[in-house]
A and B are shown apart, each in its own frame.
Chain A
Amino acid sequence: MTDAATAPIERTKGPTRRSIERFFGNRAAMVGLAIFLPILVAIITYDWWWGSGPNEIDLRALNKGPSPEHWLGSDGVGRDVMARLLQGGRVSLIVAVVSVAISTVIGFLVGSFASFGGRVVDASLMRLVDLAMTLPPVIFLLVLASIAGTGITPTILVISLLSWPTLSRMVRARLLELRERDFVVAARGMGAGVPHLLFKHGLPNCIDILVVYATLQVANAILLEAGLSFLGLGIAPPEASWGNMLNLARSTVVLEQYPWQWMFPGAALVLTVLAINFIGDGLRDAFDPRSALN
């Protein structure tokens, strides 16, 4: 009897476990988490610990710079920039998360129809995707926004309508490959219907694509919302968002004389997007078994 046979078999770690370990071992992703989590907590809890509300007016502080009372200064009608920044973050994140949730569902469904719906459906859906990807995103966004109008719901709608094509292409590629795998062929042979194939086999095997896409797309959606609101087409005042706070800087006076009114929201925007991008890249590497080789 050899040693190898008697030695207890060391349990090998499962792929999920290894992915999680890779993610927490990724320095950039950890930096991202360290930036993003405090921002998230501050945005969610700010009305418990911050004195002023986003639309409260302090007439003694019009266009005043940072002070002990208003840490980040105040704007032209005496509203506290810190409170608007935090409320704006809440609005920007809600818009981003909801629109990403919608576009993830659309993207997954379109990708599934394309891969399971036969040649004609596949070809026509993919041409539609090509078309949506050819059009410069911001132009498409402008056209949609000119129809939908301003406000939170139209903005969410516009962003989610714009974002699904990339995902649907990735899902389609994965499902096409999956369709030929033995376990799917076996399930089919045993009479499984399309819903079973999609949700029991397709969805779990696409989860890595979906998670990575959703994370990176949140960053993207924050940028899209900010861009739209910056042009005056997204979230309309008095509701705060990072984009419409930056919109103030289109006035030369604000740009030149009251930089705190736009630089702080700008910094919050870049930090958040940067952090989410780091986390997304970390997740992508964590799901990719090849990255362990490097």
Chain B
Amino acid sequence: MLNYIARRIGIGLLMLVALSVLVFVLLRLAPGDAIDAYINPAAPLSMDELAALRARLGLDQPLPVQYFGWLRAAISGDFGFSIQRAGVPVLPLVLERIGPTVLLMGTGMLLAIVLGIAAGIVSAVRRNSATDVALSVASSIGISSPAFLTALLGLYFFSVQLRWAPSGGMLTPGAPFSVSDLLSHLILPAFLLSIGHAALIMRYMRSSLLEVLNQDYVRTARAKGVREFWVIIKHATRNALLPVVTLIGSTIGIAVGGAIFLESVFNWPGMGLLLVNAVNTRDYPVIMCATLIVGACVIAVNLLTDITYAAVDPRIQVA
């Protein structure tokens, strides 16, 4: 077990390094460098002055040298300064966005898991009934709707037409902080974020439960007189959950994508909004830092999922 964990952590660290190389190289391929971003167009510099500046900042060094210089600084927490907001260090700018994003994604995923599993159970138990067909059609539509469209529709109906929820932001500006204010801003985007995932989870839950319901041990449970409700909950659902848990673990990355759209529609001050703004203004230091931190989180979550499985199901370590 320890061996397996050590190996997985090693692979995770390697992936992180590879990710940093990838992001570094990709952004160096982009047209323009830090100097182009910082110089004042009103006071043009001569080619010699530009070359001197580049030499002072080390931009004339070969790429690997630049990479290791950047890596050394990054490990000590120095990701440079934002280009768009000159002089503001990148790391705190990115770190303060983690909380809101985790809050939005966490609530959304939780809702998705509850809704998806419940709908999947109902659908499988009432197989081929009108309820099942309706839920299956709804889940197909949910899977085919992009997050930003769900977000726009939700915003239009629930905030603009019905006025049930505020139309954006995380807190009412100027008002003192209160949990109810936060919740009223959180619930709509979190719910909208959960729809696509709930649809996917429901589909897996349904097919997995249908398979389990055909197993001998379910028949045995029924035969010995266990009530149908408990057969479903205790005997079938518990066993049907395993592939669903795998699915949830492996879709965290996609959830991050959905969160980006929700954040930009609802003006939620999270990582996604920061990243989209940084991409629009070509603020490369922010893009790099945000990408690395999101990537590191996803790698860490995948690692935890893998280790959890190995703990639950010892067969996995062999494979």
In the complex, whether B261 has a CB less than 8 A from a CB of chain A is yes
Q: How far is the CA of A108 from the CA of B257 in the complex (A)?
A: 26
- What's the minimum C-beta distance from B193 to chain A, rounded to whole angstroms? 13
In the complex, whether B19 has a CB less than 8 A from a CB of chain A is yes
Q: Which of A46-54, A135-143, A191-199 faces chain B?
A: A135-143
Q: How far is the CA of A130 from the CA of B280 in the complex (A)?
A: 28
Q: How far is the CA of A31 from the CA of B19 in the complex (A)?
A: 42
Interface positions of A from 128 to 160, Cβ below 8 Å from B? 130-131, 134-139, 142-147
Q: How far is the CA of A147 from the CA of B275 in the complex (A)?
A: 14
Chain B proximity mask over A257-273: 1 for CB below 8 Å, otherwise 0 = 00100110010011001
Chain B proximity mask over A209-229: 1 for CB below 8 Å, otherwise 0 = 000000000010001001100
Given contacts A131-B15, A143-B287, A270-B149, A255 and B294 within 8 Å (CB-CB): no
Q: Once the chains bind, are A131 and B19 in contact (CB under 8 Å)?
A: yes
Q: Once the chains bind, are A249 and B27 in contact (CB under 8 Å)?
A: no
Q: Once the chains bind, are B23 and A269 in contact (CB under 8 Å)?
A: no
Q: Which of A2-10, A77-85, A230-238 faces chain B?
A: A230-238
Chain A contacts of B258 at CB under 8 A?
Answer: 138
Q: Once the chains bind, are A259 and B156 in contact (CB under 8 Å)?
A: yes
Q: Once the chains bind, are B295 and A269 in contact (CB under 8 Å)?
A: no
Q: Once the chains bind, are B276 and A146 in contact (CB under 8 Å)?
A: no
- What's the minimum C-beta distance from B297 to chain A, rounded to whole angstroms? 9
Identify whether the interface residues of B are mostly helix, strand, loop, or mixed: helix
Q: How far is the CA of A134 from the CA of B260 in the complex (A)?
A: 17
Residue tally, chain B, CB below 8 Å to A: 47
Given contacts A146-B30, A266-B153, A269-B149, A137 and B257 within 8 Å (CB-CB): yes
Q: Once the chains bind, are B27 and A143 in contact (CB under 8 Å)?
A: yes
- What's the minimum C-beta distance from A195 to chain B, rounded to whole angstroms? 31
In the complex, whether B143 has a CB less than 8 A from a CB of chain A is yes
Chain B contacts of A188 at CB under 8 A?
Answer: none
Chain B contacts of A226 at CB under 8 A?
Answer: 146, 148-149
Q: Once the chains bind, are B298 and A147 in contact (CB under 8 Å)?
A: no
Chain A contacts of B160 at CB under 8 A?
Answer: 255-256
Q: Once the chains bind, are A277 and B143 in contact (CB under 8 Å)?
A: yes
In the complex, whether A287 has a CB less than 8 A from a CB of chain B is no
Q: Once the chains bind, are A256 and B156 in contact (CB under 8 Å)?
A: yes
Q: Once the chains bind, are A219 and B144 in contact (CB under 8 Å)?
A: yes
Chain B proximity mask over A35-60: 1 for CB below 8 Å, otherwise 0 = 00000000000000000000000000
Q: Once the chains bind, are B253 and A136 in contact (CB under 8 Å)?
A: yes
In the complex, whether A274 has a CB less than 8 A from a CB of chain B is yes
In the complex, whether B130 has a CB less than 8 A from a CB of chain A is no
Q: Once the chains bind, are B19 and A147 in contact (CB under 8 Å)?
A: no
- What's the minimum C-beta distance from A173 to chain B, rounded to whole angstroms? 14
In the complex, whether B162 has a CB less than 8 A from a CB of chain A is no
- Residue in B closest to A255 when the chains form the complex, CB atoms: B156
Q: Once the chains bind, are B19 and A274 in contact (CB under 8 Å)?
A: no
Q: How far is the CA of A127 from the CA of B264 in the complex (A)?
A: 32
Q: How far is the CA of A230 from the CA of B261 in the complex (A)?
A: 9
Tally of A-B residue pairs with Cβ under 8 A?
120
- Residue in A closest to B279 when the chains form the complex, CB atoms: A146
- What's the minimum C-beta distance from B291 to chain A, rounded to whole angstroms? 6
- What's the minimum C-beta distance from B21 to chain A, rounded to whole angstroms? 10
Q: Once the chains bind, are A134 and B299 in contact (CB under 8 Å)?
A: yes
Q: Once the chains bind, are B26 and A147 in contact (CB under 8 Å)?
A: yes
In the complex, whether A23 has a CB less than 8 A from a CB of chain B is no
In the complex, whether A278 has a CB less than 8 A from a CB of chain B is yes
Q: Which of A127, A142, A274, A277 contacts B275 (CB 8 A)?
A: A142
**Listed residue (A130, A145, A231, A250) with the most chain B CB atoms within 10 angstroms of its CB:** A231
Chain B contacts of A227 at CB under 8 A?
Answer: 146-148, 257, 261
Q: How far is the CA of A219 from the CA of B265 in the complex (A)?
A: 23
Interface positions of B from 255 to 281, Cβ below 8 Å from A? 256-258, 260-261, 264-265, 275-276, 279-280
Q: How far is the CA of A147 from the CA of B258 in the complex (A)?
A: 22
- What's the minimum C-beta distance from B143 to chain A, rounded to whole angstroms? 7
Q: Once the chains bind, are B156 and A134 in contact (CB under 8 Å)?
A: no
Chain A proximity mask over B241-256: 1 for CB below 8 Å, otherwise 0 = 0000000000001101
Interface positions of B from 205 to 256, Cβ below 8 Å from A? 253-254, 256
In the complex, whether B198 has a CB less than 8 A from a CB of chain A is no
Chain A proximity mask over B159-203: 1 for CB below 8 Å, otherwise 0 = 010000001000000000000000000000000000000000000
Q: How far is the CA of A134 from the CA of B63 in the complex (A)?
A: 25
Q: Which of B140, B156, B282, B295 contacts A139 (CB 8 A)?
A: B295
In the complex, whether A246 has a CB less than 8 A from a CB of chain B is yes
In the complex, whether B98 has a CB less than 8 A from a CB of chain A is no
Q: Once the chains bind, are A139 and B146 in contact (CB under 8 Å)?
A: no
- Residue in A closest to B271 when the chains form the complex, CB atoms: A139
- What's the minimum C-beta distance from A140 to chain B, rounded to whole angstroms? 8
Q: Which of A137, A259, A269, A277 contacts B253 (CB 8 A)?
A: A137
- What's the minimum C-beta distance from B133 to chain A, rounded to whole angstroms? 11
Chain B proximity mask over A198-211: 1 for CB below 8 Å, otherwise 0 = 00000000000000
What are 27 A-B interface contacts by the 8 Å CB criterion? Answer: A127-B14, A134-B19, A134-B299, A135-B291, A135-B295, A138-B254, A138-B257, A139-B294, A142-B260, A142-B279, A143-B23, A143-B287, A146-B284, A146-B287, A226-B146, A230-B146, A230-B261, A231-B261, A231-B264, A233-B279, A250-B264, A255-B155, A255-B156, A259-B156, A269-B149, A270-B145, A270-B149
Going nearest first, the 4 A-B pairs with the smallest beta carbon separation are: A138-B257, A136-B253, A136-B256, A274-B144
> Interface residues, chain A, CB within 8 Å of chain B?
127, 130-131, 134-139, 142-147, 219, 223, 226-227, 230-233, 246, 249-250, 252, 255-256, 259, 262-263, 266, 269-270, 273-274, 277-278
